[in-house]
Amino acid sequence: MATLSLTPREREQVDRMRREILEPSRAGCVLVRFTASWCGPCRQLAPLMEKAVAEAGDPRLREVVIDIDANPLIASQFQIQSVPTVYAVVNGQPVDGFIGARSASELKAFIQRQLALLPPADGPTGVAPLVEAALRALEEGDARMAADALGALSREHPDRADIIGGYARALLALGQVDGAEAALRALPADVRDEQVQKARAQLELARAFGPVGDRASLEARVAADPGDLEARFDLSAALFAAGNRDGAADQLLEIIRRDAGWREGAARARLLKLFEAAGHADPWTAATRRRLSQLLFA
């Protein structure tokens, strides 16, 4: 959802939807109950729903109540036509729901149906999909969601190097260099996990390049003004911090194409740093170095 043109009230609703619905749904099922103060059936459903959730007693299940008059943007995102409406949200997507009041037995059956579809709360089969979803969010540019999910998982599984490494990468993508360094410091120096190696290389680059800016705002600046080389330069760092080295290289090469001497060759110097981090034997380094040579010697 684009947020640049939203009002402060709408931004609050977007943040609430992310914080209370989307992020928790990565670790379980969120029952979103849409209601209104003027709705009689809503008042009938509320205590039955609360009791059914409490009796389920499952930590993977939570209920969120959304007043459609106070939160019209959230209601529009879920395309609410009438209340009460209840949606079950898992991994950021509505997977089931109903409209209108329901009996206690019907609510119990509805909840049990949602819980039956979730992975076990403990064990690798329960953790692996959550880690995969969080890392996928990071690769897709949603560093905030990835950091929240991986941060929670790291507290539950402090021995999982892949989770710690992914969490550090997400923090770096948000510009939280000190937090990423602290997370990595808790791991043994000889850990060879892929996520940890990426995080350590990106941390080194972050220390060398300075703070990483907000990726979305930088992308918007470049789209609005392709000649904004400063924005492209900052965007290259944000993209690399998110694990997108192709995107980072594209921005740096575009700077060189437009003005090879910009800031005394800062784009070329940064690209050479990326080559060092990736390793000179890496096929990506060789391919990108050829692109650089074609620009410089065309």
Please choose, from the candidates 12, 4, 8, the residue with its C-alpha nearest in 3D space to the C-alpha of residue 220.
4
Please identify which of the residues 30, 42, 49, 80 carries the catalytic annotation.
Answer: 42
| Lowest-confidence segment of 3-7, 121-125, 158-162 by average pLDDT | 121-125
What span, in angstroms and rounded, lies between the C-alpha atoms of 67 and 71? 6
d(CA 110, CA 122): 23
Q: How confident is the model at residue 5 (pLDDT cuts 50, 70, 90)?
A: low
Contact at 8 Å (CB) between 211 and 177? yes
SS3 content of the chain, % helix, strand, coil (to 5): 65, 10, 25
pLDDT averaged over every residue in the chain: 86
Residue 1 has pLDDT above 60, yes or no: no
- Tell me what pLDDT residue 3 has: 46
DSSP string covering 111-170: HHHHHHTSPPSSSHHHHHHHHHHHHHHHHTT-HHHHHHHHHHHHHH-TT-HHHHHHHHHH
More confident residue, 138 or 184: 184
Torsion of CA 150, 154, 155, 159, to 10 degrees: 170
Q: Which two tokens stand for residue 142?
A: 């949603």
Q: Decide if 39 is catalytic.
A: yes
In this predicted model, which residue has the larger pLDDT, 177 or 84? 84
Query: Which residue among 17, 21, 32, 39 is the active-site one?
Result: 39
Indicate if the pLDDT at residue 125 is higher than 60. Answer: no
Report the C-alpha gap between 138 and 199 in whole angstroms. Answer: 12
Q: How many CB atoms lie within 10 A of CB 157?
A: 14
In sequence order, what are the residues at sequence separation of 6 or more whose Cβ sits closer than 8 angstroms to the Cβ of residue 178?
none
Cα separation, 93 vs 96, whole angstroms: 9
Residue 122 vs residue 170, higher pLDDT: 170
Tell me the per-residue pLDDT of 209-262, one tens digit each, with 9 for 90 and over.
666 667 888 999 999 999 999 999 989 888 876 668 899 999 999 999 999 999
**What is d(CA 135, CA 234) in angstroms, rounded to the nearest whole number?**
23
Q: What is the pLDDT of residue 279?
A: 61
Please return the burial class of 17, using the count of CB atoms within 10 Å of its CB with bins 0-12, 13-18 and 19+: buried
49 Cβ contact partners less than 8 Å away, ≥ 6 residues apart = 31, 33, 63, 86, 107
Beta bridge partners of 88: 31, 96
Given this model, what pLDDT does residue 124 score? 44
Do residues 198 and 231 lie in contact, with contact meaning Cβ atoms separated by under 8 Å? Answer: no
105 C-beta neighbours (distance < 10 Å), count: 10
Beta bridge partners of 29: 61, 90
State residue 208's pLDDT score: 67
Lowest mean pLDDT among 8-17, 38-47, 258-267: 8-17
Tokens of 227: 């000649």
Sequence-separated (6 or more) residues with CB below 8 Å from residue 219: 235
Distance, CA of 183 to CA of 168 (rounded, Å): 6
Supply the pLDDT for residue 100: 94
Instruction: Confirm whether pTM is higher than 0.85.
Output: no
Say yes or no to pLDDT of 135 above 50.
Answer: yes
- Angle (nearest 5°) at CA 237 between 288 and 198: 75
Active site residue 29: no
Query: pLDDT tens digits for 140-198?
Result: 777 887 888 888 888 878 888 999 999 998 898 887 889 999 999 988 888 888 888 88
Q: Which of 8-17, 196-205, 259-268 has the lowest mean pLDDT?
A: 196-205
